[in-house]
Chain A
Amino acid sequence: EVQLVESGGGLVKPGGSLRLSCAASGFTFSSYSMNWVRQAPGKGLEWVSSISGTLGYINYPDSLKGRFIISRDNAKNSLYLQMNSLRAEDTAVYFCARDQASGGTGWPFDYWGQGTLVTVSS
Chain B
Amino acid sequence: DIQMTQSPSTLSASVGDRVTITCRASQSISSWLAWYQQKPGKAPKLLIYKASSLESGVPSRFSGSGSGTEFTLTISSLQPDDFATYYCQQYNNYPVTFGQGTKLEIK
Binds B, one of A7-15, A69-77, A108-116: A108-116
* Size band of the interface chain B makes with A: 20 to 34
The answer, among B1, B42, B49, for a CB contact under 8 Å with A108, is B49
Binds A, one of B15-23, B65-73, B74-82, B98-106: B98-106
Q: Which residue of A lies closest to B48 (CB)?
A: A108
Interfacial chain A residues near B43, Cβ < 8 Å: 95, 97, 112-115
* Size band of the interface chain A makes with B: 20 to 34
Is the pair A108, B95 in contact by a Cβ cutoff of 8 Å?
no
Q: Which residue of A lies closest to B35 (CB)?
A: A108
The answer, among B42, B93, B97, B98, for a CB contact under 8 Å with A106, is B93
A34 CB to nearest chain B CB (Å): 13
Q: DSSP class of B's interface residues: helix, strand, loop or mixed?
A: loop
B13 touches A (CB below 8 Å): no
Q: Which residue of B lies closest to A100 (CB)?
A: B49
Q: Which residue of A lies closest to B101 (CB)?
A: A44
Is the pair A46, B46 in contact by a Cβ cutoff of 8 Å?
no
Given contacts A61-B95, A107-B91, contact A45 B46 (CB under 8 A): no
Q: Which residue of B lies closest to A105 (CB)?
A: B94
CA of A62 to CA of B94 in the docked complex: distance in angstroms?
Answer: 10
Among B16-49, those with CB < 8 Å from A are 32, 34, 36, 38, 42-46, 49
A contacts, CB < 8 Å to B: 35, 37, 44-47, 50, 59-62, 95, 97, 100, 106-110, 112-115
> Can you report 22 A-B residue pairs in the complex whose CB atoms are below 8 A from each other?
A37-B44, A44-B87, A44-B100, A45-B87, A45-B98, A47-B95, A47-B98, A50-B96, A60-B95, A61-B1, A61-B95, A95-B44, A97-B43, A106-B91, A106-B92, A107-B91, A108-B89, A109-B34, A109-B89, A110-B46, A112-B45, A114-B43
